[in-house]
């Protein structure tokens, strides 16, 4: 089985959105997922996009995706890549698609002079073993924070 990795095209959008919802269901947060094909299409194919996506395909079927964006490190003075979502459909796991998607992003980093490829993963997610097998290490000294919903609106009102 040969896995093809390429940047997402317009025709991939429905499958990418489906996989985002599959991932949200796996992460027990499907009620928080509101992505539409129109939103994703507008974001991915904007004149100056801020988000990017690569897909994994086998025999004409989209079996996985990596949705990502550039970050910037003030300490290093250069961009990096943040992997927002990596997903391979359950029937395609073990095909090498996940590793190939992460490797494609690693190549973008290296070719662009970006020193970092980062992402977050739920502490209970068995994919942690996969990431560690790639050589990734869990950062325990930085804790993620999020401001959203009412707290975001309340703070915004003070500006």
Which of 19, 10, 15, 11 is closest to 87 using CA atoms?
19
140 vs 92, more confident: 92
Residues ≥6 apart with Cβ < 8 Å to 107: none
Tokens of 113: 């002079």
Residues ≥6 apart with Cβ < 8 Å to 18: none
Is residue 131 flagged as an active site residue? yes
| pTM > 0.75 | yes
Q: What share of the chain is helix, strand, coil (3-state, %, to 5)?
A: 40, 25, 35
* Confidence tier at 43 by pLDDT (50, 70, 90): very high
Residue recorded with tokens 């991915």: 44
Q: One of 21, 82, 114, 131 is an active-site residue; which one?
A: 131
* Residue-wise pLDDT tens digits, 92-126: 999 999 999 999 999 999 999 999 999 999 888 88
* Residue-wise pLDDT tens digits, 52-88: 999 999 999 999 999 999 999 999 999 999 999 999 9
């Amino acid at each position: 089985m040969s896995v093809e990795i390429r940047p997402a095209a317009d025709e991939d959008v429905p499958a990418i959105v489906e996989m985002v919802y599959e991932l949200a269901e796996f992460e027990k947060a499907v009620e928080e997922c509101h992505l539409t094909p129109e939103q994703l299409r507008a974001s991915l194919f904007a004149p100056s996009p801020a988000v990017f996506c690569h897909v994994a395909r086998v025999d004409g079927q989209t079996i996985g995706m990596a949705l990502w964006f550039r970050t910037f490190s003030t300490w290093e003075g250069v961009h990096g890549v943040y992997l927002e979502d990596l997903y391979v459909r359950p029937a395609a796991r073990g095909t090498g698609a996940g590793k190939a998607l992460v490797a494609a992003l690693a190549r973008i980093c290296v070719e662009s002079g970006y020193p970092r490829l980062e992402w977050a993963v739920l502490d209970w997610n068995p994919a942690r073993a996969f990431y560690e097998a790639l050589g990734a290490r869990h950062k325990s000294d930085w804790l993620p924070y999020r401001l959203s919903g009412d707290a975001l609106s309340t703070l915004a009102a003070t500006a």
